[in-house]
Amino acid sequence: MKTIEIEIECPSCNGTGVYTGIAERDGAAVVCNKCQGTGAYQYKYSYNEFTGRKQRDDVKRVYKSGYGYVIATGPIKLGETTVDMDEEGVSYSDFLNGEMPEHTTAIACPMLADQGGCHNIKGFVDECMELNGGWIGQISQCNNRCNKAECWERFNGTDQ
């Protein structure tokens, strides 16, 4: 564990050395009790220096995201759909070797997975609104969620 100590502007008095609050009125101030009137505060920050990525013994597969769902390895049931999570993501050993997982398209639509990316594609969000008869209050309530594959085709088939 390393600790660094830095001198910062006192956050209580904004570097003035004096404090005025609800009890100090008509030009009265008191000596700031955080910095003892110096205007400076000695801040200590402790941290563990990064020495390399640590490994875990309890992880089998790595996924890009859980998209707000509870996920696990093996088959999981999401409504009417069963997704074999052993076929999604990447093995933990592949992840440790630098491979990154792709989106789990059977779980999430592009708007849930990468809303910013969808907004960057001209007309993408407009088509989502058209499919839903207006603005979607919650992505999980999209009328087209049963057709996620079509939405992924629109998302992946467009240069961003």
Residue-wise pLDDT for 116-133, tens only, equals 999 999 999 999 888 888
pTM: 0.70
Mean per-residue pLDDT of the chain: 91
Greater model confidence, 60 or 127? 60
Which residues lie across from 5 on neighbouring strands? 44
43-53 pLDDT, tens digit each: 999 999 999 99
**In contact, 19 and 39? CB cutoff 8 Å:** no
Alpha carbons 73 and 86: distance in angstroms, whole number: 6
Q: Count the helices and strands in the chain (H runs, E runs).
A: 5, 8
Angle between helices 148-156 and 124-132 (to 10 degrees): 160
- For the chain, the structural domain boundaries read 2-47, 59-108, 109-160
Percent of the chain with pLDDT over 70: 98
Give the CB-side neighbour count of residue 108, counting CA atoms within 13 A.
Answer: 20
Whether the predicted pLDDT of 13 surpasses 50: yes
